[in-house]
Structure 1
């Protein structure tokens, strides 16, 4: 499997659709996960959208996660080793 520079294990042919991402995000609260408020979520996503380590428009190269899922979870922080890009 070909790896992308800096990515934690995804290959170039792995893609996740918007519908799949939306379904994951929508399931978080219903499955008992502690989620952040919408304003915090939007702020986190704005920070991620300007990050040079955002791959494929949805994957963080530092941790390999879908940023829209990670950003929704209250117990998660930005995995940037140089320091969190998230204010909260």
Structure 2
């Protein structure tokens, strides 16, 4: 697991709860339009993430972010440089 960081507060054995997913969706919706990626670009990033071996329950094992949030913000990039 060289090069990977893990959030010490998280228990990766637990799956994302419905509440957590709803929170992330609402958070993304509240990102101001001028700070958000276009929908097609956002979906493209999520598609790439969904096939990544470093994705675990919606979280990036490289940086610890929720990929749905990182992918939504304009100017943010994949820490593994996949998008």
**TM-score strictly above 0.5:** yes
State the Cα RMSD in Å: 1.9
Q: Which has the higher contact order (CA 8 A, sep 6+)?
A: 2
Larger helix proportion of the pair? 2
Structure 2 spans left out of the alignment, 5+ residues: none
Q: TM-score, normalised by structure 2?
A: 0.78
Q: TM-score, normalised by structure 1?
A: 0.74
Q: How many residues align?
A: 75
> C-alpha offsets along residues 22-59 of structure 1, whole Å, 9 cap, x if unaligned?
111111117xx611100100100000000000011x10
Structure 1 spans left out of the alignment, 5+ residues: 1-5
